[in-house]
Amino acid sequence: MRKRTCCLVPAALVLLGTVAGCGDDSELAEATYVAEFEGVSAKLVVPVNEARSIGTYRLEVVRPGGDKVTTRGDRDGMVSDLWLADLGGDGVLEAVVAISSVGSGSYGTVDVYRERERTFEEVALAPLDEEQAQGYMGHDLYSVEGGDLRRSFPRYLEGDTNAEPTGGTVSLVYSFTDGAWVKDESAESEPE
Protein backbone atom coordinates (compact mmCIF):
# COMPACT_ATOMS: atom_id res chain seq x y z
CA MET A 1 0.00 0.00 0.00
CA ARG A 2 1.40 3.38 -1.03
CA LYS A 3 1.47 6.16 1.56
CA ARG A 4 0.45 9.69 0.71
CA THR A 5 0.94 12.93 2.59
CA CYS A 6 -2.25 14.76 3.55
CA CYS A 7 -2.61 18.29 4.85
CA LEU A 8 -5.39 19.71 7.01
CA VAL A 9 -5.21 23.49 7.32
CA PRO A 10 -7.19 24.98 10.19
CA ALA A 11 -7.06 28.79 10.41
CA ALA A 12 -3.68 29.20 12.10
CA LEU A 13 -2.34 25.65 12.30
CA VAL A 14 -0.84 23.44 9.65
CA LEU A 15 -0.93 19.75 10.46
CA LEU A 16 1.06 17.42 8.22
CA GLY A 17 0.76 13.69 8.53
CA THR A 18 1.40 10.57 6.54
CA VAL A 19 -1.80 8.63 6.07
CA ALA A 20 -2.33 5.41 4.14
CA GLY A 21 -4.85 5.55 1.31
CA CYS A 22 -5.99 9.17 1.63
CA GLY A 23 -6.10 9.83 -2.12
CA ASP A 24 -3.95 11.78 -4.53
CA ASP A 25 -3.11 15.49 -4.19
CA SER A 26 -6.18 16.55 -6.21
CA GLU A 27 -8.36 15.06 -3.45
CA LEU A 28 -6.85 17.13 -0.64
CA ALA A 29 -9.50 19.50 0.60
CA GLU A 30 -9.85 22.53 2.81
CA ALA A 31 -13.56 21.76 3.02
CA THR A 32 -15.88 19.07 1.72
CA TYR A 33 -19.68 19.30 1.47
CA VAL A 34 -22.08 16.49 0.61
CA ALA A 35 -25.74 16.37 -0.40
CA GLU A 36 -28.21 13.70 -1.50
CA PHE A 37 -31.54 13.74 -3.33
CA GLU A 38 -33.56 10.72 -4.49
CA GLY A 39 -30.54 8.42 -4.80
CA VAL A 40 -28.28 11.04 -6.39
CA SER A 41 -25.29 12.21 -4.36
CA ALA A 42 -23.06 15.26 -4.66
CA LYS A 43 -19.71 16.14 -3.20
CA LEU A 44 -18.16 19.60 -3.33
CA VAL A 45 -14.46 20.01 -2.59
CA VAL A 46 -12.57 23.24 -1.91
CA PRO A 47 -8.83 22.69 -2.57
CA VAL A 48 -6.53 23.00 0.44
CA ASN A 49 -3.93 25.14 -1.33
CA GLU A 50 -6.28 28.07 -1.97
CA ALA A 51 -7.08 31.11 0.14
CA ARG A 52 -10.33 30.77 2.06
CA SER A 53 -11.51 34.13 0.76
CA ILE A 54 -11.30 33.41 -2.98
CA GLY A 55 -10.64 30.44 -5.24
CA THR A 56 -12.42 27.51 -6.83
CA TYR A 57 -14.38 24.39 -6.03
CA ARG A 58 -15.01 21.04 -7.68
CA LEU A 59 -18.55 19.66 -7.74
CA GLU A 60 -19.05 15.96 -8.43
CA VAL A 61 -22.55 14.51 -8.90
CA VAL A 62 -23.04 10.74 -8.93
CA ARG A 63 -26.25 9.06 -10.14
CA PRO A 64 -27.43 5.61 -9.07
CA GLY A 65 -25.40 3.13 -11.10
CA GLY A 66 -22.26 5.24 -10.87
CA ASP A 67 -22.65 7.77 -13.71
CA LYS A 68 -20.51 10.72 -12.59
CA VAL A 69 -20.46 14.35 -13.73
CA THR A 70 -17.81 16.79 -12.51
CA THR A 71 -17.83 20.55 -12.90
CA ARG A 72 -15.71 23.34 -11.44
CA GLY A 73 -16.70 26.76 -10.22
CA ASP A 74 -15.07 29.97 -9.05
CA ARG A 75 -15.85 31.40 -5.65
CA ASP A 76 -15.47 34.87 -4.16
CA GLY A 77 -15.77 33.84 -0.52
CA MET A 78 -16.24 30.64 1.45
CA VAL A 79 -18.67 27.89 0.49
CA SER A 80 -21.34 27.74 3.18
CA ASP A 81 -23.66 24.99 1.92
CA LEU A 82 -24.59 22.55 -0.85
CA TRP A 83 -27.99 21.16 -1.86
CA LEU A 84 -29.40 18.86 -4.54
CA ALA A 85 -33.05 19.47 -5.40
CA ASP A 86 -35.68 19.65 -8.11
CA LEU A 87 -36.19 23.40 -7.92
CA GLY A 88 -39.59 24.35 -9.22
CA GLY A 89 -40.85 20.77 -9.48
CA ASP A 90 -40.14 20.36 -13.20
CA GLY A 91 -38.39 16.99 -12.84
CA VAL A 92 -34.92 18.42 -13.56
CA LEU A 93 -32.20 18.15 -10.92
CA GLU A 94 -30.28 21.20 -9.72
CA ALA A 95 -27.16 21.49 -7.57
CA VAL A 96 -27.03 24.65 -5.45
CA VAL A 97 -23.82 26.07 -3.94
CA ALA A 98 -24.08 28.90 -1.39
CA ILE A 99 -21.06 31.17 -0.95
CA SER A 100 -20.50 33.88 1.65
CA SER A 101 -17.92 36.62 1.18
CA VAL A 102 -15.42 37.21 3.93
CA GLY A 103 -15.58 40.44 5.90
CA SER A 104 -18.22 42.17 7.95
CA GLY A 105 -20.88 42.20 5.21
CA SER A 106 -20.97 38.45 4.54
CA TYR A 107 -22.45 39.18 1.11
CA GLY A 108 -23.91 35.99 -0.27
CA THR A 109 -24.04 34.49 -3.72
CA VAL A 110 -25.49 31.25 -4.94
CA ASP A 111 -24.38 29.15 -7.90
CA VAL A 112 -27.08 26.95 -9.43
CA TYR A 113 -26.21 24.11 -11.80
CA ARG A 114 -29.02 22.50 -13.79
CA GLU A 115 -28.76 18.98 -15.18
CA ARG A 116 -28.91 18.87 -18.96
CA GLU A 117 -28.04 15.90 -21.15
CA ARG A 118 -25.77 14.22 -18.57
CA THR A 119 -23.93 17.45 -17.72
CA PHE A 120 -24.59 20.28 -15.29
CA GLU A 121 -24.78 23.82 -16.70
CA GLU A 122 -24.65 26.94 -14.56
CA VAL A 123 -27.90 28.92 -14.44
CA ALA A 124 -27.61 32.72 -14.38
CA LEU A 125 -29.87 34.06 -11.63
CA ALA A 126 -31.32 37.55 -11.76
CA PRO A 127 -30.01 40.11 -9.27
CA LEU A 128 -32.24 41.78 -6.69
CA ASP A 129 -34.59 44.36 -8.21
CA GLU A 130 -34.42 48.00 -7.10
CA GLU A 131 -37.06 47.66 -4.36
CA GLN A 132 -35.54 44.45 -2.97
CA ALA A 133 -32.07 46.03 -2.91
CA GLN A 134 -33.18 49.01 -0.79
CA GLY A 135 -31.32 48.79 2.51
CA TYR A 136 -29.35 45.73 1.40
CA MET A 137 -25.93 45.37 3.07
CA GLY A 138 -25.29 41.64 2.87
CA HIS A 139 -25.68 39.02 5.62
CA ASP A 140 -27.49 36.74 3.15
CA LEU A 141 -28.83 33.36 4.23
CA TYR A 142 -29.75 30.82 1.55
CA SER A 143 -31.73 27.62 1.89
CA VAL A 144 -33.52 25.05 -0.24
CA GLU A 145 -36.89 24.06 1.21
CA GLY A 146 -39.71 22.15 -0.43
CA GLY A 147 -38.15 22.53 -3.89
CA ASP A 148 -37.72 26.29 -3.50
CA LEU A 149 -34.50 28.32 -3.44
CA ARG A 150 -34.87 30.85 -0.60
CA ARG A 151 -32.86 33.90 0.36
CA SER A 152 -33.18 36.19 3.36
CA PHE A 153 -31.21 39.15 4.66
CA PRO A 154 -31.70 42.05 7.07
CA ARG A 155 -32.85 45.41 5.70
CA TYR A 156 -30.81 48.38 6.91
CA LEU A 157 -32.38 51.77 7.43
CA GLU A 158 -30.52 55.08 7.29
CA GLY A 159 -28.30 55.40 10.36
CA ASP A 160 -28.17 51.65 11.11
CA THR A 161 -24.78 50.18 11.94
CA ASN A 162 -23.60 46.98 10.29
CA ALA A 163 -24.21 45.11 13.56
CA GLU A 164 -27.72 46.50 14.20
CA PRO A 165 -30.15 46.56 11.25
CA THR A 166 -33.62 47.83 12.16
CA GLY A 167 -35.54 47.42 8.90
CA GLY A 168 -36.77 43.84 9.44
CA THR A 169 -35.89 40.83 7.33
CA VAL A 170 -36.37 40.52 3.58
CA SER A 171 -37.39 36.98 2.57
CA LEU A 172 -37.37 35.95 -1.08
CA VAL A 173 -37.98 32.86 -3.21
CA TYR A 174 -36.42 32.47 -6.65
CA SER A 175 -38.99 31.98 -9.42
CA PHE A 176 -37.40 30.02 -12.25
CA THR A 177 -40.61 30.64 -14.25
CA ASP A 178 -40.27 34.43 -13.95
CA GLY A 179 -36.46 34.45 -13.77
CA ALA A 180 -36.53 36.70 -10.70
CA TRP A 181 -36.44 36.82 -6.92
CA VAL A 182 -39.99 37.30 -5.60
CA LYS A 183 -41.18 38.31 -2.17
CA ASP A 184 -42.08 35.52 0.24
CA GLU A 185 -44.92 37.26 2.10
CA SER A 186 -45.29 34.46 4.65
CA ALA A 187 -41.73 34.89 5.97
CA GLU A 188 -41.27 38.69 5.89
CA SER A 189 -40.59 40.33 9.26
CA GLU A 190 -41.55 43.85 10.20
CA PRO A 191 -39.07 46.64 11.00
CA GLU A 192 -38.20 47.09 14.67
170 within some domain: yes
Q: In CATH, what number is assigned to the domain containing residue 136?
A: 2.40.128.460
CA 162, 166, 170, 171 dihedral sign is: positive
pLDDT tens for the chain, 192 residues: list them: 333 333 333 322 222 222 223 343 344 557 899 999 999 999 999 988 888 789 999 999 999 989 999 999 999 999 999 999 999 889 999 999 999 998 888 899 999 999 998 889 999 999 999 999 999 999 999 999 989 999 999 999 999 998 899 999 999 999 999 999 999 977 656 665
Domain count, the chain: 1
3 within some domain: no
Q: Which domain holds residue 108?
A: 27-187
168 within some domain: yes
6 within some domain: no
**Pairwise CA distance, residues 6 & 28, whole Å:** 7
14 within some domain: no
155 within some domain: yes
Report whether 118 contacts 68 (CB < 8 A).
no
11 within some domain: no
7 within some domain: no
Note the pLDDT tens digit of each residue in 121-137: 999 999 999 999 999 99
